[in-house]
Amino acid sequence: MNPESKIYVAGHRGLAGSAIVRALKRKGYNNLITRTHSELDLTDQLAVQAFFEAEQPTHVILAAAKVGGIHANDTYPAEFIRDNLAIQTNVIHSAWQSGVDKLVFLGSSCIYPKFAEQPMREDSLLTGPLEPTNEWYAIAKIAGIKMCQAYRKQYGFDAISLMPTNLYGPGDNFNLENSHVLPALLRKFHEAKLNHDPQVVMWGTGSPKREFLHVDDLGDAVVHLTEHYSDSDIVNVGVGTDVSIRELAELVKNVVGYEGDIVNDTSKPDGTPRKLMNVDRLSELGWSAGISLKQGVENTYEWFLQNKDSYRS
């Protein structure tokens, strides 16, 4: 890429997409194309095709997706597989058809088997059964990876696939019905503090371990790999360390300043026991995360406080 490259960021208003836009601008890329959902429905094949024919971007970063936590994935499986398959199929095919120089596809750590050897290496893909609570989303993302690899193999299309770990940060979704665990905990502890609640109920046993990547680190990684990586092999994007959900809850509790107790609701699902990324390939490509979890949670809570009247509730 160069400063004049015409870059389309699909999903620019989402958590990942907005961070990628910030990172691109920091690096001097200002010829950016964006469309809201009302301006361009990425599940509409003809609309996507017309958009690419009219705009002719040179680079595409596909961060648009239907996303959610365990509850949302388990409640709306048809929407998660249908919408994500449609979005990525339309964008990848139209990007190739219109002569895009490079496409970056963002997947997810949930593509890996539920009991994959930890930390999860890229070559563990398709070596075992998926986590049942989000298998529909995972299967859609695996199809996106394979589509990128197929278009590279058959057409020579420069499409790369990056697998981010659990993301959090400014612009996150704090809706308790469909958010991920970290923003949900931030909101729960914040509201419990305001209401002087004696306890906060946390889903599951607290024993599963998760890896968390600040979304601005993701943005930097995506720009770095767009500039420096071109191959069919997928690349994990993470920090290479993890914490238990209980440890995360204690950290969030301290950052928020809540003084009550944490109670576990063991009737709720835990999900995958552990999801730690092996980031050796990422390190070899010259990138590593720079924002610590404590620093990132503090930064996210500060953003939440400044935007609590307008966040997605």
- Report d(CA 174, CA 188) in Å as an integer: 9
165 assigned to a ligand binding site: yes
Q: What does the DSSP 8-state code read for residue 202?
A: E
Active site residue 137: yes
Cα dihedral value 25, 219, 16, 93, nearest 10: 80
- Asked if residue 133 lies in contact with residue 73, where contact means CB atoms within 8 angstroms, the answer is yes
- Report d(CA 239, CA 116) in Å as an integer: 18
27 assigned to a ligand binding site: no
- Reading the block at residue 257, the tokens are 């300043």
270 assigned to a ligand binding site: yes
107 assigned to a ligand binding site: yes
43 assigned to a ligand binding site: no
CA 102 to chain centre: 20
- Report d(CA 125, CA 36) in Å as an integer: 32
User: Does residue 119 have a cis peptide bond before it, meaning omega lies within 30 degrees of 0?
Assistant: yes
SS3 state of residue 214:
strand
12 assigned to a ligand binding site: yes
57 assigned to a ligand binding site: no
180 assigned to a ligand binding site: yes
13 assigned to a ligand binding site: yes
71 assigned to a ligand binding site: no
- Report d(CA 254, CA 213) in Å as an integer: 19
* CA angle in degrees (0–180, nearest 5) for 198-199-205: 165
Q: What does the DSSP 8-state code read for residue 128?
A: S
> Which of 137, 229, 258, 301 is labelled catalytic?
137
- Report d(CA 88, CA 42) in Å as an integer: 8
- Report d(CA 161, CA 248) in Å as an integer: 29
11 assigned to a ligand binding site: yes
188 assigned to a ligand binding site: yes
204 assigned to a ligand binding site: no
Q: What does the DSSP 8-state code read for residue 123?
A: G
Phi-psi region of 257 (alpha: psi -120 to 50; beta: other; left: phi over 0): left
249 assigned to a ligand binding site: no
128 assigned to a ligand binding site: no
203 assigned to a ligand binding site: yes
Query: Would you please indicate which residues are annotated as catalytic (active-site) residues?
Result: 137
Binding site as annotated, residues for substrate: 188, 203, 210, 270
Binding site as annotated, residues for NADP(+): 11-17, 106-109, 141, 164-167, 180
